[in-house]
């Protein structure tokens, strides 16, 4: 069986803890590798190495650091197929979806190529008599990224790119379910010219996470995962004086107004609801048609589209729409929630439970599932299912639909489909959600903006990538400077204005 390693000091290092976790092939249910789980002592060694490397890396001028990002981006693009194969093999998503995963991460690396302009400080000449005032951005030191299973390439790149180009060293702890992509990215970063030790990939579980949160050398932590863990990491990091940006769960709604193009809305719901088997924090899991006629017409369009979806392993051809979920436990949980929806009175229009793929009977497959007549008190509405399940909640008015979104505890993403500009503008202004789509189902901002939700979808003041990432991974130092002309002034104990 293939046994993976950590990446420390620019080389593969075998784990010494004696503890491992198994990596499954989601399509077959078979164990394909195992990965070591680091001890606090192993993490200490990686952090010490990172701290040594960071000092010299921080002293490298921003333009040279940006050149490493340029080479890194080129190598990612050159190795797109190999990276996509790793993503699909461990996660289960289709190859086109895996390439999209990598591409959205690569776009953040492309922004990092222009980091010198984002790392500039400020200067005020003659702020007072003979006094200059300036501010400069400096790296934090050693930072950490803790990333989830559902985007094995994109989110590690979202974390490492801005952190590294800002002059920090990073300890990356990828999900132990999908570690191979992060290990390959670390090798490509080294090939691009990143000095040894500046990026360490340490595999682990909660023991490693807690060691990261408690370690005094680590200055900041970025996390993406479920809301309970995001809140835990944010609280523990803050208790140890660290910066933290922690992104949690979601329950993303899409409102469909009576004047919407229902064919386009149905197509959008298929992609946003079932792509990647629903394992996206920006997936649309709740459709909210306004009015009974709109709801009936929408369901009529959704059913044949869902019935045509092909669920299969990523090796099953270019026409595969989505693959398995990540583990057997995930499959069991999703099917349990589907069952609860039936028990609590929702109308099960299409049932994805018990899906069997010939030759892959032990795979973790869940078929596309559609519910109608869902109400907010049902578990399938309240829980983040993280699977290929679309719930339809019928609203009788726009205000009722808007209130449904605003009252939900999550605030990651939302969308509205309408032909009316005034309705769209009102929705964008009033809805209390961090990312809004207008006739656009998955409103993930481009890499030169920033990604982030509201309410219980995010903990921390700054978002991921874009300008916010450079603020998060740097600290501002302000200098008040005066050079004397040679005329000696008498000492003053008064605190006085510069002007």
As annotated, the active-site residues are 281
Residue 15 structure tokens: 């784990």
Question: Distances from the Cα of 403 to the Cαs of 15, 21, 285, in angstroms?
Answer: 51, 43, 17
Q: Coil, strand, or helix at residue 463?
A: coil
Opening angle at CA 408, ends 407 and 410, nearest 5: 135
Residue 350 structure tokens: 């299409």
Neighbours of 416 (CB within 10 A): 29
Tokens 């249910």 sit on residue: 29
Rounded Cα–Cα distance for residues 386 and 389 (Å): 8
Quick check: 233 and 206 in contact, CB under 8 A? no
Give strand ranges (E) for 37-141: 122-128, 131-139
Quick check: 96 and 314 in contact, CB under 8 A? no
Closest to 464 measured CA to CA, from 412, 406, 416: 412
Residue 150 structure tokens: 């559902």
Note the maximum CA span of the chain.
Answer: 91
Taking 3-state DSSP, the helix, strand and coil percentages for the chain, each rounded to the nearest 5, stand at 40, 25, 35
* Radius of gyration of the chain measured on its C-alpha atoms: 25
Q: Coil, strand, or helix at residue 376?
A: coil
Q: Coil, strand, or helix at residue 41?
A: helix
Q: Coil, strand, or helix at residue 93?
A: coil
């Amino acid at each position: 069986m293939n046994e993976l390693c950590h990446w420390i000091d620019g080389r593969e290092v075998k784990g010494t803890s004696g503890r491992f976790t198994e990596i499954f092939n989601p399509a077959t249910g078979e164990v394909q590798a195992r990965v070591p789980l680091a001890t606090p002592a192993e993490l200490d060694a990686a952090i010490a190495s990172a701290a040594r490397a960071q000092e010299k890396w921080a002293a490298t001028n921003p333009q040279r650091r940006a050149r490493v990002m340029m080479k890194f981006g080129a190598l990612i693009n050159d190795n797109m197929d190999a990276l996509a194969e790793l993503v699909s093999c461990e996660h289960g998503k289709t190859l086109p979806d895996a390439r999209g995963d990598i591409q959205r991460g690569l776009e953040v690396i492309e922004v990092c190529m222009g980091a010198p302009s984002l790392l500039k400080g400020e200067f005020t000449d003659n702020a007072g008599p003979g006094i200059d005032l300036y501010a400069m951005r400096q790296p934090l030191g050693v930072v950490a990224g803790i990333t989830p299973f559902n985007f094995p390439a994109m989110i590690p790149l979202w974390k490492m790119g801005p952190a590294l180009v800002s002059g920090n060293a990073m300890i990356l702890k990828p999900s132990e379910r999908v570690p191979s992509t992060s290990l390959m990215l670390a090798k490509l970063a080294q090939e691009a010219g990143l000095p040894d030790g500046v990026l360490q990939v340490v595999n682990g579980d909660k023991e490693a996470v807690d060691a990261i949160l408690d370690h005094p050398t680590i200055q900041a932590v970025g996390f993406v995962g479920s809301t309970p863990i995001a809140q835990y990491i944010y609280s523990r990091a803050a208790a140890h004086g660290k910066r933290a940006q922690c992104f949690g769960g979601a329950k993303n709604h899409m409102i469909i107004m009576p004047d919407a193009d229902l064919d386009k809305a149905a197509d959008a719901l298929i992609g946003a609801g079932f792509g990647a088997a629903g394992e996206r924090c920006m997936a649309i899991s709740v459709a909210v048609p306004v009015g009974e006629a709109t709801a009936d017409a929408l369901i009529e369009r959704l059913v044949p589209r869902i019935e045509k979806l092909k669920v299969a392993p990523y090796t099953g051809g270019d026409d595969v729409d989505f693959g398995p979920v990540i583990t057997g436990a995930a499959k069991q949980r999703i099917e349990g929630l589907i069952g609860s929806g039936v028990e609590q009175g929702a109308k099960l229009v299409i049932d994805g439970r018990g899906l069997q793929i010939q030759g892959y009977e032990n795979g973790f497959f869940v078929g596309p599932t559609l519910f109608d007549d869902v109400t907010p008190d049902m578990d399938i509405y309240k829980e983040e299912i993280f699977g290929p399940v679309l719930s339809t909640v019928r609203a009788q008015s726009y205000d009722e639909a808007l209130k449904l979104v605003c009252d939900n505890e999550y605030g990651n993403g939302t969308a509205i489909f309408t032909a009316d500009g005034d309705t769209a503008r009102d929705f964008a202004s009033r809805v209390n959600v961090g990312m809004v789509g207008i006739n656009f189902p998955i409103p993930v901002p481009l890499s030169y903006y920033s990604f982030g939700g509201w309410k219980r979808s995010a903990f921390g003041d700054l978002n991921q990538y874009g300008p916010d990432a450079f603020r998060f991974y740097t600290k501002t130092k302000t200098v008040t400077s005066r050079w004397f002309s040679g005329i000696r002034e008498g000492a003053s104990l008064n605190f006085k204005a510069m002007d």
